[in-house]
Amino acid sequence: MNDDAPFQPDRTLYERLRSHESVPAKSPLDLDPMLLAAYLEGRLGEAEAAPIEAILAADPAALDDLIAYDPVTPEIPSAAFITKAQALVGGATILPFAPRPAPPRRLVTAWAAWGAVAASLVLISLVGFSLGMQTERNFNGSTGIGTSIDILDQSSGLGDGIG
Amino acid sequence: MRGDQEDLAGLLSGNKTSWDAFVARFSGLILAAVRRVVGTDGIDVEDIAQDVFVRLCKDDFRLLRQYDPTRAGLSTWLTIVSRSVAHDMIRRRRAPTQPIELTPEAAFAVEPNITEKIKIPDGLLSPRQRLVLTMIYERDMEVAEIAGTLHIDAQTVRSTHHKAMLKLRAHFGEKP
C-alpha cells in the first residue's frame, strides 16, 4: 500500500525491538460491555479508551475480535423463540423447591371422627338390641308360652289349678 | 435513543408488555450476534440466544440495569453482551470431559496464556500508540482501515504512529 511506504524504516526499528518475552494476556471478556459498546461507537476519548486499547494491543484474539466486529443484520426469529423468551418475565413463576411444612394436627376433626365411630357403634348396638327384643317378643307371642296351659293335654290334669 | 429510554423504564419496572415488546424487537439482533460468534460450530444458536435473555432479566434485570443509554446504543450493547455470552458458552462446551484418571499428568501443568510483546518499557507508549503500532506492523492494516476500526481520522493514525516512533527512537538512542 502507498500509506505503508513511509513506515518502512520504522518497521525495521519496530521489528528490532520485538522480543519473545511471554506475558499473561488479559481476557477481552473481562471488559465492561458498556465501556466496550461506547468504544465501538467511537464515543470514548483516548484516555477513556486506554484500558481497552491496552488489552487490544496485548491480546491478538481481542484485536481479531475488534477488527471482525461490525453491526449485525438482525435475523427473523421464529414465533416459538419469541414466545419462549417472552415467558421469562411475567409468566408462571417457578419457585425453588422447599419442603412443604407439616400441616397442624386437627384435633377437633380427629375427635369428631372417633365420636362418630363411637356413636355409630352405640346406634348399631341399640338397633340390634331393639331388634333382638322385638324378635323375642314375637317369638313368645306366636308360641303362646304365657298360656302354655293351652297346649297341655287337658286330660292329663297337669294344668289343673294353673288357670 | 429516547424511545430506548422509555422502553427501558417500563421494562425495569417489571412491565410485562414492555418485556414482550423488547423481546420481539431484539430477538433477531441477538440471534444474529450469537450466530456470528458460533458460526457452524454445531451449537444451538437459539439455546444461547435464550440464555442471553435469561441473563438480561435475571435477578430483577441486574444486567439490563447496567446499560447506560447516554454512553452507547442499545443495539450495540446487546450485540456485545450476546457475543460475550456466546464466547462463554463455547468455552464451557469445549471444556474437556475426559475422566481425570485418563488425563496425562502433564496436562495439569499450568501454562500461561502467552502472547508476543514488544520489548518496550511500560508507560513509554500510550495504549493507543502501542495499538496503532500493532495494527500497522503486526496486522499489516492500512491507515484508513485502522482509522475506521478505532473511529479516529486517518491523520490521527499517522500522527499517533509518528509520535510513537519518536518516543521509541529517543528511548533506544536512535537518530530520527
Has residue B103 been placed in a domain? no
Distance from CA of B106 to the nearest CA of A (A): 20
Reading the block at residue B98, the C-alpha cell is 475426559
Provide the 3-class DSSP secondary structure of residue B117.
strand
* Domain co-membership, B14 together with B85: yes
* Domain co-membership, B55 together with B11: yes
Per-residue pLDDT, A21: 46
**Which of B29, B73, B169 is the closest to A41 by Cβ?**
B73
Has residue B100 been placed in a domain? no
Asked which of B71, B94, B117 is the last residue of a domain, the reply is B94
Q: Which residues pair with B118 in a beta bridge?
A: A18
Report which of B172, B176, B154 is spatially closest to residue B163, judged by C-alpha positions: B176
Has residue B99 been placed in a domain? no
Report the mean per-residue pLDDT for chain B. 84
* Domain co-membership, B43 together with B88: yes
* Domain co-membership, B79 together with B118: no
C-alpha distances in angstroms, A1 versus A162, B144, B153? 153, 11, 18
Phi, psi of A103, deg, nearest 5:
-70, 150
Per-residue pLDDT, A148: 46
Per-residue pLDDT, B115: 55
Higher pLDDT, A65 or B2: A65
- Decide: residue A29, CB within 10 A, 0-12 exposed, 13-18 middle, 19+ buried: middle
**Which of A15, A19, A22 is the closest to B114 by Cβ?**
A22
Per-residue pLDDT, B98: 60
C-alpha distances in angstroms, A139 versus A125, A129, A143, A145? 21, 15, 6, 9
C-alpha distances in angstroms, B118 versus A13, A21, A23, A27, A138? 11, 8, 11, 19, 124
Domain membership of residue B125 as a residue range: 109-172
Chain B residue with minimal CA distance to A90?
B16
Reading the block at residue A114, the C-alpha cell is 372417633
Question: Could you tell me if B173 lies within 8 Å of chain A, comparing CB atoms?
Answer: no
Per-residue pLDDT, averaged over B71-93, amounts to: 90
**Which of A15, A53, A74 is the closest to B131 by Cβ?**
A53
B92-106 confidence digits (pLDDT tens): 877 666 666 666 666
- Number of domains chain B is built from: 2
Angle B16-38/B2-12 helices, nearest 10 degrees?
110
Mutation test of the interface with chain B: which of A2, A53, A84, choosing the one with the most B Cβ atoms within 10 A?
A: A53
Reading the block at residue A124, the C-alpha cell is 348399631
ipTM of the complex: 0.76
Return the CATH number at B49: 1.10.1740.10
Question: Could you tell me if B71 lies within 8 Å of chain A, comparing CB atoms?
Answer: yes
Which residue reads 419469541 in cell numbers?
Answer: A82
Which residues of chain A are within 8 Å of residue B139 when distances are taken between CB atoms?
63, 67
| pLDDT over threshold 60, residue A147 | no
For residues A156 and A142, give the distance between their C-alpha atoms in angstroms, rounded to a whole number: 24
